[in-house]
Amino acid sequence: MAIYTMVLAGGAWMAFRSCVMGVRIDSKGLTERGLGRSKVVPWCVISAINTADGFGLAPAEAPGLILKNGEHRSLAALASYSGGAVDSDYTLIKSAHTNHVAACPDCA
């Protein structure tokens, strides 16, 4: 009985997390939500937005971040084989970052 309860609880957790996976863009930065983790990247640590190639046998493009410490981070949750979808996501993220930098005294 305990195994069934654990499997049911694990399945419910995975179903919930899969519904909230993706990238959230807000005034503080980007939050990339995966199945078991969430990573927050504040706007102030991002130096540039670019497009990056994904990994695997059939790599897809995804918007990427270049952080001020030199680290390159791909937003794998936004990876797509469609160039139009990647361009749309890139434009949205680039616009939000530009707006933040223009209004933030710490980013200057």
Reading the block at residue 48, the tokens are: 């540039």
Q: How far is 22 from 35, CA to CA, in rounded Å?
A: 9
Other C-beta atoms lying within 10 Å of the C-beta of residue 105: 5
Q: Which domains does the chain have, with CATH numbers?
A: 22-103 (2.30.29)
Q: Which secondary structure element, helix H or strand E, spans residue 71, and what is its range?
A: none
Q: What is the pLDDT of residues 20-70, one digit of tens each?
A: 777 888 888 988 887 777 888 999 999 988 876 655 555 667 788 889 998
Question: Does residue 108 register a pLDDT over 70?
Answer: no
Q: What is the pLDDT of residues 87-99, one digit of tens each?
A: 888 888 889 999 9
CA-based nearest residue to 72, from 63, 60, 59: 63
Q: What is the pLDDT of residue 69?
A: 92
Q: What is the pLDDT of residue 55?
A: 58
